[in-house]
Amino acid sequence: MGHGHGVGVALVEDPSEEAAELAARDVGEFDQAGCLSLQTVFAREPRIFAERLAGAMARYEERFPRGELELSAAGGIWNLRQEVRWAMAQECERWKMWEGEGWTVVFEEGMALRLSPGGRTVFVRPLEEGVEDMLRGVRFLSGIGLWPYEEREELPGPRIFRLGEAQRPRGLWAHDGVLALGALVRRQSFGLVE
């Protein structure tokens, strides 16, 4: 059963190698076609983290090569790469890109959320004050990955998860706040309401 489009993001306070490996998994699994797949990572030291993520994406690609892309997805990735090359030529301090056969990592200054064309293409942006407020306005926000993980009730989105676990929800997870399997379960109640 399809659930429609969704956006997964991550907030990375500790831009470590371990965080990069976990983020690569959350981008790479299901070739970024899952509704919780990371599209943007907001990170402290974003340029450093983007470079680490690029290395992790290359290693992930070696172990788990990306599947065949549909023509529209391949075209979207090609268009994005050309756009970023042009932007890098205009404002080299604001943009940087790393790419491989089956993945793309784009660093861009600023906090605006931009949707990925998929196919293991992820944006890395600075983690700045106000990102939580900006995320409240994202219509199809499916989940937020955290590194390090801590329970944060003030964050928007129906699912807050540990980085690296985007595609591994628990069995009774409420998809977008709704118990998807709830309609398949029969309940029996006893007693009268007084």
- Identify the structural domains of the chain with CATH numbers, from first to last: 7-184 (3.40.309.10)
Whole-prediction pTM value? 0.87
CA distance 174 to 158: 8
pLDDT band at 173 (very low <50, low <70, confident <90, very high): low
Q: Which of 4-13, 19-28, 68-77 has the lowest mean pLDDT?
A: 4-13
CA distance 77 to 60: 18
**Dihedral-angle region of residue 32 (phi above 0 means left; psi in -120 to 50 means alpha; beta otherwise):** left
Q: Residues 89-139: pLDDT tens digits?
A: 999 999 999 999 999 999 999 988 888 999 999 999 999 999 999 999 888
Secondary structure element (H or E) that encloses residue 9, with its range: strand 7-12
Distances (CA, A) of 102 to 4, 108, 148: 24, 20, 27
3-state secondary structure of 2: coil
Q: Residues 47-90: pLDDT tens digits?
A: 999 999 999 999 999 999 999 999 999 999 999 999 999 999 99
Contact assessment for residue 157 and residue 143, using Cβ atoms and an 8 Å cutoff? yes
